[in-house]
């Protein structure tokens, strides 16, 4: 299959491109600089510019582009987070809509769209989005793909939790306190903490690309939701370190501002659509997902 990939320079993009090419798929990488390799094509999503020739005969478009959310959300940076996602999706969707054969369109999204704190409520793809900045971003982010959907593309929005892999920057930051022996649960620890192994995330992308029954929002998280307290216990055990020093919610809010809700809010998300369409997780528990993260 021919995949066109936006966001190939990030951790997930590099991992996906490597996984696809290892299996013999063709990968075209969209870049914003001058191309330096034969498989790269320049585009400018801020200006809505993309040469349709780059998408010729594409089977799947995958958009993983977007500004990093793991830094302080100043008013200016909030605008950057939002526009980086909307502009890339809308540019790709507009281009896909002009193709004679509509490709599958897979866009990254976020479980944070369900809101700051949904407690013990079970969240499936049929659940409503919540309130707050990320919820608003997810609405417009996913909505920016409408042009492709209306033109006949099968559109999938992968609402992904924390992806666990020893090379993932977010996971390195999350595990650093434990490596130093000062790790502990975040806030109360009772909040549900959606995570998934990199292996299963990669397999979920392939499943979405190849299974015609998969469309719309898709939760990508463990089928056995885990609380932060249990995840903390499993992470400490995997690193053979203690988990004795909890970080209070007020400290996280003071240091991280609004982003703290990504760590102390509760989203008990179930990957119902993946399971209903025959997907089987290689690492269905926190313990097995963490073992995979450190083994890769």
Beta bridge mates, 40: 29
Q: pLDDT tens for residues 82-111?
A: 999 999 999 999 999 999 999 999 999 999
Listed range (127-131, 238-242, 261-265) with the worst mean pLDDT? 261-265
Distance CA 40, CA 36 (A): 7
- 94: Cα separation from own chain's centroid: 22
What CATH number did the domain enclosing 91 receive?
3.40.50.720
Entry pTM: 0.95
What confidence score (pLDDT) does residue 294 get?
A: 94
Q: Considering its fold, how many domains does the chain have in total?
A: 1
Query: Which structural domain range is residue 190 located in?
Result: 2-295
What local confidence, expressed as pLDDT, does residue 293 receive?
A: 96
| Residues listed for the chain | 296
Question: Which residue has better confidence, 71 or 219?
Answer: 219
- Helix intervals (H) in the chain: 11-22, 75-96, 133-143, 146-150, 169-179, 198-210, 228-239, 249-256, 261-264, 272-276, 286-295
The predicted pLDDT at position 6 comes to: 97
């Amino acid at each position: 299959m021919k995949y066109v990939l936006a966001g190939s320079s990030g951790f997930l993009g590099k991992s996906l491109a490597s996984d696809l090419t290892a299996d013999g798929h063709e990968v075209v990488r969209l870049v914003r600089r001058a191309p330096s390799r034969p498989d790269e094509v320049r585009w400018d999503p801020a200006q809505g510019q993309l040469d349709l020739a780059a998408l010729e005969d594409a089977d799947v478009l995958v958009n993983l582009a977007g500004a990093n959310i793991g830094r302080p959300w100043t008013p200016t940076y909030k605008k950057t987070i939002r526009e980086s996602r909307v502009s890339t999706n809308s540019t790709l969707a507009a281009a896909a809509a002009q193709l004679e054969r509509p490709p599958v369109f897979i866009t990254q999204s976020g479980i944070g769209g369900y809101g700051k704190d949904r407690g013990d409520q079970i969240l499936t793809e049929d659940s409503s989005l919540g309130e707050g900045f990320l919820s608003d971003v997810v609405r417009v982010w996913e909505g920016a793909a409408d042009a492709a959907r209306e033109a006949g593309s099968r559109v999938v929005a992968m609402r992904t939790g924390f992806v666990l892999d020893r090379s993932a920057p977010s996971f390195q930051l999350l595990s650093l306190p434990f490596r130093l022996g000062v790790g502990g649960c975040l806030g109360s620890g009772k909040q549900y903490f959606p995570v998934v192994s990199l292996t299963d995330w990669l397999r979920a992308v392939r499943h979405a690309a190849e299974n015609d029954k998969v469309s719309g929002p898709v939760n990508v998280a463990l089928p056995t939701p885990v609380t932060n307290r249990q995840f903390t216990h499993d992470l400490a055990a995997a690193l053979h370190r203690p988990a004795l020093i909890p970080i209070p919610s007020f400290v996280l809010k003071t240091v991280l501002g609004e982003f703290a809700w990504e760590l102390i809010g509760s989203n008990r998300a179930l990957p119902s659509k993946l399971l209903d369409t025959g997907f089987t997780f290689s690492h269905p528990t926190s313990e097995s997902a963490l073992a995979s993260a450190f083994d890769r």
